[in-house]
Amino acid sequence: MTTTLFHLSDIHFGLEDNKALDWVKQEIAERRPAAVAITGDLTMRARHREYSAACSWIRSLDVPVTVEIGNHDMPYFNLIERFFAPYRRFRNIESLIERTIDLPDIAIVPLKTAVRMQPRLNWSKGWVSRSALRQCLAAIDALPAGTKALVAVHHPLREVGTKGTALTYNGFKALCALAKRPVLAVLSGHVHDPFDIMEETLDGPVRMIGAGTLSLRLRSTPPSFNELTWDGTTLTVRARNLDEVPTRSMQIDDVPENALPPREPGEPVAPVNQVPRTDPPVH
Ligand SMILES: [Fe+2]
Ligand SMILES: [Fe+2]
């Protein structure tokens, strides 16, 4: 039996690409994936109207949906709320979209990587807290025997350099712990370009799959989402896009470590095969 999942990310309601979203909605209606996993940055600035638009769109999909919190999904303008109730707006919509997900031998397990504040200048980067990792590992360990986990995060679990420059602090520690468990792949967003790479850890390799964006904040590839197919043995990824760029051309070869401003909305996307693959801007 084959299971199809759609992996969406970085819709950034407030700066969403409505043409791409109409297409994805139609694809969901036609293909009826077993679930849609959205890996964060649902909104642009966590405004109430952006959350409301996100909620309407998600509720119009007639399939189960999971959503992770991204660095853009915590209050941006209201700092008091950001510090004291950072997840309230997100949790409100999470409760509205909740539906039971019943997958045969796989499970989507969340791991929170976005935090309200951190002891470094760039708060848009990821941070895996001890309690977030503990919750994720406990959820994996509680799965029925034979069930494989798809771990859903916002930031790729890439950690290089120092505490200040790492894309996701404690990402490597998390990957090592996941490598020891039945994890099919880690699904992420944040980068705005798709990828599918094997990350080596001290405890074996872990597959990291990134979805592109469905917003106007493009980096180096057109708007896209990942179609995942699981046949019980192999997980196949297609980076679906309206321009019909082949998956291999859509996927970047490595996860960039810098978080620089993305391409401005409206600026044309360079043809994918001409995109420089070194040190491009990410969001
Ligand atoms: Fe984003
Ligand atoms: Fe992000």
Q: What is the 190 CA–ligand 1 centroid distance (Å)?
A: 4
Comparing 76 with 40, the larger pLDDT belongs to 40
Mean pLDDT of 211-233: 96
CB 199 within 8 A of CB 206: yes
Of residues 79, 78, 77, 67, the one with CA closest to residue 41: 67
pLDDT given for residue 167 in this prediction: 86
Q: What is the 162 CA–ligand 1 centroid distance (Å)?
A: 22
Comparing 271 with 105, the larger pLDDT belongs to 105
d(CA 120, CA 143): 35
Report pLDDT digits (tens) over 34-68.
999 999 999 999 999 999 999 999 999 999 999 99
d(CA 196, CA 208): 6
**Ligand at shortest distance from the CA of 74:** 2
Residue position matching structure tokens 């993305």 = 262
Q: What is the 70 CA–ligand 1 centroid distance (Å)?
A: 7
Q: What is the 179 CA–ligand 1 centroid distance (Å)?
A: 26
**Ligand at shortest distance from the CA of 9:** 1
Residues around ion ligand 2, judged by CB within 5 A, are 41, 70-71, 190
The dihedral through the CA atoms of 217, 158, 6, 96 has a sign that is: negative
pLDDT over 70 at 273, yes or no: no
Q: What is the 142 CA–ligand 1 centroid distance (Å)?
A: 31
**Ligand at shortest distance from the CA of 168:** 2
pLDDT given for residue 124 in this prediction: 84
d(CA 35, CA 81): 32
pTM above 0.85, yes or no: yes
User: Percent of the chain at pLDDT above 90?
Assistant: 69
pLDDT over 90 at 95, yes or no: no
Q: What is the 111 CA–ligand 2 centroid distance (Å)?
A: 14
Q: What is the 251 CA–ligand 2 centroid distance (Å)?
A: 18
pLDDT given for residue 279 in this prediction: 38
The CB density around residue 94, as the number of other CB atoms within 10 Å, is 18
User: Who's near 55: CB < 8 A, 6+ residues apart?
Assistant: 93, 96, 97
Q: What is the 193 CA–ligand 2 centroid distance (Å)?
A: 12
d(CA 231, CA 227): 13
Of residues 186, 254, 182, 265, the one with CA closest to residue 218: 265
Assign 241 a pLDDT band (cuts: 50, 70, 90). Answer: very high
Q: What is the 214 CA–ligand 1 centroid distance (Å)?
A: 9
pLDDT over 80 at 271, yes or no: no
pLDDT given for residue 282 in this prediction: 44
Q: What is the 137 CA–ligand 1 centroid distance (Å)?
A: 25
Mean pLDDT of 92-100: 78
pLDDT given for residue 128 in this prediction: 95
Q: What is the 133 CA–ligand 2 centroid distance (Å)?
A: 19
Q: What is the 260 CA–ligand 1 centroid distance (Å)?
A: 11
Assign 277 a pLDDT band (cuts: 50, 70, 90). Answer: very low
- The secondary structure of 91-159 as a DSSP string is HHHHHHH------SSEEEEE-----S--SSS-TTSEE--HHHHHHHHHHHHTSPTT-EEEEE-SS----
Report pLDDT digits (tens) over 100-150.
788 989 999 999 998 877 777 677 888 899 999 999 999 999 999 999 999
